[in-house]
Structures are given as C-alpha cells and as structure tokens.
Structure 1
Amino acid sequence: MAGNEQHYVLPRPVFDKPVKLLIVVAPYYKDIADNLLAGARAEIEAAGASCDLVEVPGALEVPTALGMADRLSNFDGYVALGCVIRGETTHYETVCNDSSRALTLLGLQGLAIGNGILTVENRAQAEVRADPDGQNKGGGAAAAALHLIALRHKWGRVDKPVGFRPWEEYRLAGDPGEGSTGA
C-alpha cells in the first residue's frame, strides 16, 4: 500500500518577502475538503505565507477560478483542493481528466499551482489521503505551490507572457503577417 511507503519530502522553502496564495476548494464532500483545507493552511502558515480562500461548486470549476484569479488579482501561487470519488458513470473520468489537464495547462502558462484534487475509488481512500495527520495531501499541494513560488523567486519573475500570443497582438506589434517572409 502506498500509504506505508517512505518518500522524500523537500525542505520547506524560505521567503525573504511576503508570499500570498489563493486556495480554491470544491467542497462537494465537505468533510474531506475541510481536512484538505486544514492541511493546506497549516503548511502555508508554517512557511510564513498567507492565503485567501474561495469555494467553487466542483472540481471542474477549480481551474477556471484559478485562471480568473490570475488575470484579476495578484497572488503568488495557488492551491487547488477537492475530491472526485468514482461513481457508476463515466463522469468520473471526465472530471478527473479535465480538471487535471486544465491545472497542468495553467501551470505551463506560468502559474505556481499545487494540485490537491483527490481522485479516488471510494470514500475510505479519500479520508486517508485528506487527513492532515495521515497522508495530508492538502498540505502536500500547498507545499508544491510554495516550492514553485520559490523557483519563480529564484529565477526572477517573468515580465513577458508565457504561451501563445493572440494574433491581434502580433498585428498590433507590426509583426509580419501570415505568409510573409519577413523581408
């Protein structure tokens, strides 16, 4: 069982300036979400950082809320929390795959995100993983976000956007149009 295995945990990062995270939680399974949240908050506080919290209806809305917050606010990083328990339909695969994929895409755009959305077969698995005194996946997600923030601080904040630029930005910048050789 994975819960009995030993694994290495990186030392907690140290920050020389205030760090603020946003925790986005889907409390569909409220008791599990509360445990994830307790673990995340404890890790954030232990690192000397602060956090805000927003709730969304389900795991599929978590990445949307993170993307909105990144565009409209000024957080250093994000913690995604929630739980998806397998049911009788294929909806489980859709929610697991799409929420994870969306968080990954946001991360590739430069957001420092710790993914604490549990994807489990049953409630018992979720309870063990969410327990702050057990596997503490909420704390692990917060730690992941903090480590990514530390990397951003180490390498310097990127001033230019990461990813694709809309065509309109190229046109307004005077870049050569489609089919142009640039000469």
Structure 2
Amino acid sequence: MFGAEKGTAARPLDGSRLHIGIVQARFNESITNSLASACKAELAALGVPDNGIVHVLVPGALEVPLALQALAEQDKFDALIALGCIIRGETYHFELVANESGAGVSRVALDYQLPVANAIITTENLDQAIARQTDKGRDAARVAVEMANLLDELA
C-alpha cells in the first residue's frame, strides 16, 4: 500500500461537527420508531448535536429513496440514514419493496457522493424485526458518522 492507511475505525467516532438527515418509513411503525430512537440516541452519544439532525417521515420503504434524494439535493448534510422495516408476506411484494428500496438508497449515495447508512431491515417475521430494531438503529448511526468522517478525510 502506498502512503498512510485512511479510515476512522481505529479512532473514536466524533459526530460533533456533522449534520445528519434521517428518513424513516412509517410502515411497521412500532419497529421503525424503535430504529429511530436507537439511531438518534447513538448519534447523540457520538456527539451529533440535536440541531444537526433532521428527521423526516415517509409512508413506506419505497418512498425512502425519494426523500433521501430531496435531502441530498439540499447540500447541507454530511451523511443520511434510511430507516424502515420490510417483513416478508405471502406475495412477491416483499422482494419488490426490498430490492427497489435498497437499490434506490444506494443510488442516492452514489449519485450525490454522500454516505447513506441503510437500516431498512428485511426480515422473515415480526420476531426477527423486533430482535434487530435497536442494534440496527445504533449501527446506522455509527456507519453514518464513520463514513462522513472518512469522506471528509479523503476530500
């Protein structure tokens, strides 16, 4: 490898100078509210100020990418976070929503060169969603802060 290794994993995560946008799907609201609570608590623990967080709600996972795009176009966020919950049903709709929302989230990140932590969880049943809601919310906050700091270093 040439030069020094880039990355923030070895250092404590510092969100004190960051502006983070959160887009939360309301569908499966008990799960997404828990995701959002865990995410916001972790952002606070990482030093992201309350006035550095914008939190918007959309109907479901398919609407998340459009709201992420609208936030990205404001050019004032260091990272975005996508929160949602898709639980498998008896039809193909699960795959459609999971695939399209995931592709849309990734497209926003790449199109705007902006970190987007994807915590739209996809599970087979409600029990799996409940088991993941807190950890995935915290993970999304940590990913957003780490990637925002990394991209700032690489700029």
- TM-score, structure 1 normalization: 0.73
In the alignment, structure 1 segments of 5+ residues that lack a partner are 1-9, 157-183
Structure with higher helix content: 2
Pair 1:21–1:123, CA change in 2 (3 A)? same
Out of 107, 110, 130, which is 2:109 matched to?
107
Q: Which runs of 4+ in 1 moved over 6 A?
A: none
Q: Describe the SS at the equivalent of 2:23.
A: strand
Pair 1:152–1:26, CA change in 2 (3 A)? same
Deviation at 1:14, TM superposition (A): 2.2
Deviation at 1:99, TM superposition (A): 0.6
Identity, in percent, stands at 37
Could you say which structure has the larger radius of gyration?
A: 1
Q: Does 1:22 align with 2:21?
A: yes
In the alignment, structure 2 segments of 5+ residues that lack a partner are 1-8
Deviation at 1:51, TM superposition (A): 1.0
Larger RCO, structure (CA 8 Å, separation 6 or more): 2
The residue correspondences of 1:1-183 to structure 2 (distance < 5 A) are 10=9, 12-15=12-15, 18-49=17-48, 50-109=52-111, 110-130=113-133, 132=134, 136-156=135-155
Aligned length: 142
Amino acid at match of 1:41: K
Q: Describe the SS at the equivalent of 2:59.
A: coil
* RMSD between aligned residues: 1.4
- TM-score, structure 2 normalization: 0.86
Q: Describe the SS at the equivalent of 2:61.
A: coil
